Amino acid sequence: MKKILIAVLTGVLCAGYAYGQSELPLLQNARAYEGTTLNGDWNYIVDVQEEGYYDYRMNPTSSGFFRNAKPRRPEDLIEYDFDKSPTMKIPSDWNTQDDRLFFYEGTVWFKRSFLAVPITDYRTLLYFGAVNYDCHVWVNGRKAGHHIGGFTPFNLDISDLLREGENTIIVKVDNKRHAEDVPTQIFDWWNYGGITRDVMLVKVGPVYLQDYSLQLQKADAKAKDREISFSAKLNKAEAGHTVKVSIPELKLEQQLTTDAEGKVSGTLKVKAKNLQLWSPNNPKLYDVQLTLDASTIADEIGFRTIETRGKQILLNNETVFLKGISIHEEKPNGGGRANSVEDARTLLSWAKELGCNFVRLAHYPHNENMIREAERMGIMVWSEIPCYWTIAWTNPGTYDNAKQQLTDMITRDHNRANIIIWSIANETPHSDERDTFLGNLAEYARTLDSTRLISMAMEVTGASNYVNRLNDNMNKYVDVVSFNEYIGWYRDVNDAAKMSWEIPYDKPVIISEFGGGAKYGLHGPANQRWTEEFQENLYKENLAMIEKIEGLSGTTPWILKDFRSPRRVLPEIQDYYNRKGLFSDKGEKKKAFYILKQWYDSK
Ligand code: GCB
């Protein structure tokens, strides 16, 4: 069997065993492994008519772009050339990298080469943090995999496709919208296309820890002893492997042997007085080491509990009020997908300045830097999948797609202490079909992770005699009742003071959205749309109104920063930006920022 070592730029990495070409279940904590980044310059070809792909489907021996063919004889006809095509920095969205692609929704091909030399006993996974939306991958002209869903990671075993010397990866990315996709055709954010998150080659042994979990068990506030449950799963159902978990600072260590399914589970016991719990005031993370046979990876993990009691949310057995803000994954200065640690720090530091201890990462799973930075900064997180508005509820493929995105979101982040809520949907119109789809999804989410709260952003569309009554069949599936209300913007302007709320469920309540648009720097009377004063007044009235809601456990107003949206076409005001940000698209604070800050500071 051929063994290959890959050397890319500065890194060195090993590959080898042939396991066929396919997408594997997601590797937990991929960044902990020895790996090599494939971020950087990739050549690209814009292919409006999918010439390079249909060619492949109709005639597999012909020259589809995935072959990266070159003329061998003077008379050879090859009508593309990656190496003469422009380059784009990856990760990025193509819309902000090339002016011609600002509104483009379609196919772009990407190519990147790297060098490899022989070595033994390792496998190479090609890991993509996210590609929006539909993506096919070839390595050296052979198909490595296909993935759909624009906001979750995936990994392909490419060991068998590698060769000594130069290797070429070709990725076809298509962000066209379809009714049966998740999200569906219409949504209120920019459909940024491309390889939008990090790409890396990850070196794993033939047997590796595919997934592991460490979770603090709930206990009485006065409990003297605490338990951390530990479980792990190999990529293969093989008995007899040794798995060791240790937390040196707590002097905890446990060694277990895998069962026939390749699984282990155990409990680490610790004195409550020795354990610092993760919380916004003390975002303590412990170094954790996980050893499989002779190889060790590291993680940083925090321990906390989150639960509800009646209408309260309890973090570490204490009532917590979630002072939140909604955030899109867009760069702090202008548009474009955010991905870097710096982007995450800037956005999250704005949320901190606002007085937040919580963020709603809307409307899809954000990049891992965002979650990890928030965890370090002591910010709790609501993480969501893009079941947004009118999904094709009766289409089985749509359900499978949503379920896969939920699985990958939870798999990637279930060891992050700051994630307290998994959200399965946003503003979905009521129907029996929706209830079946989302009900199944909620139950499935609980089987994956029983240690967090489940919610979704419901909608309330109208009031009778100023009484707003929440009535959603999904109430029985969620732990926290959350809803969006746009009083003062889409409805009932000037009537917030008259409104009352009836939420007939004994569960905590989060107002997951309210807000209104303002153009930064536009001033005028408080009843004039688009002025900062209008937005400021809307915040004052809404905060006074929601304060009276029984069981209010938090809010995540819409939204931290103005963000790009194709729905927002009003010239001179919107110019393709949704203007409901408390910060402008360039990071300038609007007047409403100070209203919310004042309210949070008083909580
Ligand atoms: C909503 C949606 C959000 C929109 C927002 C708006 O209800 O959940 O995605 O951007 O309203 O600005 O209309």
Task: Answer whether 427 contacts ligand 1 (Cβ < 6 A).
Answer: yes
Task: Answer whether 188 contacts ligand 1 (Cβ < 6 A).
Answer: yes
Look at residue 240 and tell me if it is in a domain: yes
CATH number at residue 245: 2.60.40.10
Range of the domain at 54: 2-204
Q: What is the mean pLDDT of residues 216-239?
A: 98
Q: Are residues 152 and 285 in the same domain?
A: no
pLDDT at 1: 36
Please indicate whether residue 573 or residue 18 has the higher confidence score (pLDDT). 573
Task: Answer whether 184 contacts ligand 1 (Cβ < 6 A).
Answer: no
**CA dist list (Å): 581 to 25, 279, 353, 513, 577:** 37, 27, 15, 12, 10
Q: Are residues 224 and 154 in the same domain?
A: no
Task: For tokens 């009508």, name the residue.
Answer: 79
Q: Which atom of ligand 1 is nearest to the CA of 565?
A: 10
**CA dist list (Å): 160 to 1, 20, 61, 164:** 9, 6, 21, 12
Q: Are residues 90 and 225 in the same domain?
A: no
Which 3-state string (H, E, C) describes 366-383? Answer: CCHHHHHHHHHHCCEEEE
Q: DSSP labels for 286-336?
A: EEEEEEETTEEEEEEE----EEEETTEEEETTEE--EEEEEE-SB-SSSSS
List the beta bridge partners of residue 106.
none
Q: Are 328 and 189 in contact (CB under 8 A)?
A: yes
Look at residue 354 and tell me if it is in a domain: yes
Task: Answer whether 326 contacts ligand 1 (Cβ < 6 A).
Answer: no
Task: Answer whether 484 contacts ligand 1 (Cβ < 6 A).
Answer: yes
Task: Answer whether 513 contacts ligand 1 (Cβ < 6 A).
Answer: yes
555 CA distance to ligand 1 centroid (A)?
15
CA-nearest residue for atom 3, ligand 1, is: 188
pLDDT at 159: 93
158 CA distance to ligand 1 centroid (A)?
40
Task: Answer whether 590 contacts ligand 1 (Cβ < 6 A).
Answer: no
Q: Which of 150, 175, 204 is the last residue of a domain?
A: 204
State pLDDT tens for residues 21-43: 467 999 999 999 989 999 999 99
pLDDT at 21: 45
CA-nearest residue for atom 10, ligand 1, is: 188
Confidence of residue 55 (pLDDT cuts 50, 70, 90): low
Q: Which atom of ligand 1 is nearest to the CA of 489?
A: 13
Q: Are residues 97 and 132 in the same domain?
A: yes
Give the range among 51-55, 179-183, 529-533 with minimum mean pLDDT. Answer: 51-55
Is a pLDDT exceeding 70 seen at residue 53? yes
484 CA distance to ligand 1 centroid (A)?
8
State pLDDT tens for residues 354-366: 999 999 999 999 9
Tally of domains in the chain: 3
Pocket test for ligand 1, best of 188, 330, 538 (most atoms within 8 A of CB): 188
Return the closest-CA partner of residue 599 out of 514, 531, 494, 483: 514
Look at residue 573 and tell me if it is in a domain: yes
Q: How far apart are CA 345 and CA 187, in angstroms?
A: 26
Q: Are residues 102 and 188 in the same domain?
A: yes
Strands, DSSP E only, in 378-480? 380-384, 419-426, 453-459, 467-469
pLDDT at 61: 57
Q: Are residues 83 and 153 in the same domain?
A: yes
Give the range among 114-123, 379-388, 447-456 with minimum mean pLDDT. Answer: 114-123
Q: Is 558 helix (H, G, I), strand (E, B) or coil?
A: coil
Q: Are residues 478 and 513 in the same domain?
A: yes
Q: Are residues 371 and 437 in the same domain?
A: yes
Label residue 2 exposed, middle or buried (CB < 10 Å: 0-12, 13-18, 19+): middle
Q: Are residues 325 and 287 in the same domain?
A: no
Q: Which atom of ligand 1 is nearest to the CA of 457?
A: 8
Confidence of residue 59 (pLDDT cuts 50, 70, 90): low
The structure's pTM equals 0.95
Q: What is the mean pLDDT of residues 52-70?
A: 76
Look at residue 594 and tell me if it is in a domain: yes
pLDDT at 462: 85
Task: Answer whether 174 contacts ligand 1 (Cβ < 6 A).
Answer: no
Task: Answer whether 558 contacts ligand 1 (Cβ < 6 A).
Answer: yes
Q: Are residues 497 and 457 in the same domain?
A: yes
CATH number at residue 63: 2.60.120.260
Task: Answer whether 555 contacts ligand 1 (Cβ < 6 A).
Answer: no
Look at residue 210 and tell me if it is in a domain: no
Q: Are 174 and 106 in contact (CB under 8 A)?
A: yes
Give the range among 108-122, 297-311, 385-399, 478-492 with minimum mean pLDDT. Answer: 108-122
State pLDDT tens for residues 166-222: 999 999 999 999 999 999 999 999 999 999 999 999 999 999 999 999 999 999 999
Q: Which of 247, 272, 304 is the last residue of a domain?
A: 304
Would you say the C-alpha torsion 371, 373, 375, 380 has a positive or negative sign?
Answer: negative
- Helix H or strand E encompassing 230: strand 225-234
Q: Are residues 276 and 335 in the same domain?
A: no
Q: Are residues 363 and 390 in the same domain?
A: yes
Could you give the percent of the chain with pLDDT greater than 70?
95
Pocket test for ligand 1, best of 189, 455, 558 (most atoms within 8 A of CB): 558
Strand order in the sheet with 22-24: 22-24, 154-157, 123-128, 199-204, 35-37
CATH number at residue 345: 3.20.20.80
